[in-house]
A = this chain, B = another copy of it.
Amino acid sequence: MSDLPKSVYLNEEGPREGFQIEAATIPTARKIELVDRLAQTGLKHIQVASFVNPKAVPGMADADQVVEGFRPVPDVHFTALWLNQKGFQRALTHADRLTINGSLNLYASTAFLKRNQNRVPEQQRAAQDDLIAMYQAAGIKVKRGFITAAFGCNFEGDVPPERVVQLVGELLAIAQDHGEEIDHMGLGDTMAWATPESIKRVVGAIREAHPDLELLLHLHDTRGLGIANAYAGLEMGVRMFDTAVAGLGGCPFAGHQGAAGNVCTEDLVFLCEEMGIDTGVDLDALIDCALLAEDIVGHPLPGSVMRGGGLNRFRK
């Protein structure tokens, strides 16, 4: 009936997503506490901070301390985000603790690219050359490609799948021209336009052009379709997802109207495990982390399984 994968790989982005958006100042020690707890759940990839201008993002002013504070765990990759050379150089100073990989990015919406980066598509392509040069100068390999607004855009409307296919090809070619190889290609539903059917259309179209390319879905839950969209991805055999514990980063119930975060990690883990797809994650331990995250931010978060609980306790 479908091509469900046997296992999935989750990129936990909750700490970075969540602590970036929160208005209140969260103590550094509590951020570290959540990272340490997440690292005990079976998650293999945890994005802990972003190295951005603290004037622009006050919640990330302590990024260096968070990175220096967590307890490394074998086989768990701790990562960080950066948006420019300065941020990348800060990340490099923690190369003993962080897994540092290069990432390239094109936009499926010209209007959003203009708004977000003040660039036209040609400039964005050229910027990828500069990024690769920066990575290569530091001895860092490119690993991720990413297409922003791959399913639609508030400033441009619907995005045709063929445009995404073309951008994927361009990004692969840019990497290849520089002797780099993209390990997986992320598709960002940046403004929550995707439906399960559009997920299937876009993933299917990319698969036809690049059958062996590993795809990752970065889904937002603004309109309640996050888990359904993830399921559609699973049906298409997608194995990699960006997620956020408790739905951190979004808080529809506390004033961040419409700014829902990434699809909720424990809800996706529950979906997968109940369908026989291995996540490698202990659901109960993850639910504890979600409740901890809620305690840390001090207001309700959007996750569901953290309230409803798993089912295995009824199966004994």
Contacts and interface: CB of A to CB of B under 8 A. Distances in A.
A264 interface: yes
A158 B315 contact: yes
Interface string A219-263: 001111101101110000000000000000000110001101000
B275 A157 contact: no
B224 A264 contact: yes
Contacts of A145: none
Contacts of A158: 315
B154 A314 contact: yes
27 contacts: A4-B197, A152-B311, A155-B314, A157-B314, A158-B315, A193-B311, A196-B271, A197-B275, A198-B274, A221-B304, A222-B304, A222-B308, A223-B270, A223-B304, A223-B309, A223-B310, A224-B227, A224-B267, A224-B303, A224-B308, A225-B270, A225-B304, A227-B228, A228-B228, A228-B271, A257-B307, A260-B307
Given A4-B197, A224-B264, A225-B267, 17 more contacts: A1-B200, A1-B204, A154-B314, A157-B315, A195-B275, A196-B271, A196-B275, A222-B307, A222-B308, A223-B304, A224-B270, A225-B227, A225-B304, A227-B228, A228-B271, A258-B307, A260-B304
Interface residues of A, number: 48
A299 to B, nearest CB: 10
